[in-house]
């Protein structure tokens, strides 16, 4: 074992500090909605045996276990900063930990759906807090040429005016903004219109 990798401590049943892995390096923490994704580089020195798992935990007690980077710690409180530790385990016990910190935050997404040149069933989104190209979100169940959207902080609702065959429809679909995926049926508008304009608050929407 290289001199710089030597470990010390007391041996107890099921734990040998001389044989545990080194700490993960290059630890980075990415904020999500009530969660933190902990990325890291696996230690080159795995000690006396292969790494069997990694664990990440906040100093408040929330934790998760996984086979590789990244590890996502869930169930956290938004806008609270957490100190995070991540370590590797092998048959001889847990190794020393690498550290990082992060602050979960409510996702700030802008979501777009459908399009005039179609039929178009594409849903895409951007992260409003940063610049960059749109990313695929999922698909509409009904391809849309014209329509309008309203939203709450957690849900987007899409009224579709014309479908892929250019027929006038009264379809309503919805999606959960924090979770990418296809839209689902919400219900029907009372009357089908040629085009829509939508306004909304955190409590409701009007098309």
Instruction: Report whether pLDDT(203) > 60.
Output: no
Quote the CA–CA distance of 80 and 154 in Å, as a whole number.
Answer: 20
Q: What is the pLDDT of residue 113?
A: 81
The 10s digit of each residue's pLDDT in 173-196 is 898 888 889 999 898 888 776 666
Q: Which residue has the higher pLDDT, 124 or 201?
A: 124
Tokens of 192: 């089908």
First to last CA, the chain: 69
The 10s digit of each residue's pLDDT in 72-117 is 999 999 989 999 999 999 999 999 999 999 999 877 788 888 776 6
pTM of the predicted structure, to 2 decimals: 0.58
Tokens of 172: 């309503």
Q: Which stretch of DSSP H or E encloses residue 110?
A: strand 109-113
Q: What is the pLDDT of residue 158?
A: 83
The 10s digit of each residue's pLDDT in 1-52 is 333 344 544 455 567 888 999 999 999 999 888 999 999 999 999 999 999 9
CATH class of the structural domain 3-102: mainly beta
Q: What is the pLDDT of residue 104?
A: 92
Quote the CA–CA distance of 112 and 116 in Å, as a whole number.
Answer: 12
Tokens of 184: 């689902």
The 10s digit of each residue's pLDDT in 110-121 is 888 877 666 678
Buried b (16+ CB within 10 A) or exposed e, 156-177: bbbbbbbbbeeeebebbbbbeb
**By three-state DSSP, how is residue 113 classified?**
strand
The 10s digit of each residue's pLDDT in 52-71 is 999 999 999 999 999 999 99
Q: What is the pLDDT of residue 13?
A: 56
Instruction: Report whether pLDDT(136) > 80.
Output: yes
Q: Which residue has the higher pLDDT, 105 or 201?
A: 105
* Tokens 């935990």 -> residue: 57
* Ramachandran quadrant class, 166 (left: phi over 0; alpha: psi -120 to 50; beta: rest): left
Quote the CA–CA distance of 137 and 203 in Å, as a whole number.
Answer: 24
Radius of gyration of the chain (CA): 24
Kindly list the domain boundaries of the chain, sorted by start residue: 3-102, 109-206
């Amino acid at each position: 074992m290289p001199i710089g990798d030597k470990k010390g401590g007391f041996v107890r049943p099921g734990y040998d500090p001389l044989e545990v892995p080194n700490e993960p390096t290059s630890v980075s923490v990415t904020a999500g909605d009530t969660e933190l994704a902990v990325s890291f580089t696996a230690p080159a020195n795995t000690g006396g045996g292969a790494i069997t798992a990694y664990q990440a935990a906040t100093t408040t007690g929330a934790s998760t276990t996984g086979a590789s980077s990244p590890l996502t710690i869930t169930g956290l409180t938004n806008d609270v900063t957490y100190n995070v530790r991540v370590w590797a385990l092998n048959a001889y016990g847990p190794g020393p930990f690498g550290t990082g910190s992060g602050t979960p935050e409510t996702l700030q997404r802008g979501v777009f759906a459908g399009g005039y040149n179609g039929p178009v069933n594409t849903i895409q989104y951007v992260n409003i807090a940063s610049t960059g190209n749109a990313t695929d979100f999922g698909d509409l169940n009904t391809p849309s040429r014209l329509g309008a959207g309203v939203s709450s902080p957690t849900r987007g609702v899409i009224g579709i005016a014309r479908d892929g065959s250019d027929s006038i429809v009264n379809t309503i679909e919805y999606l959960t903004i924090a979770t990418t995926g296809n839209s689902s049926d919400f219900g029907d508008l009372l009357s089908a219109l040629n085009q829509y304009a939508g306004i909304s608050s955190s409590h409701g929407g009007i098309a």
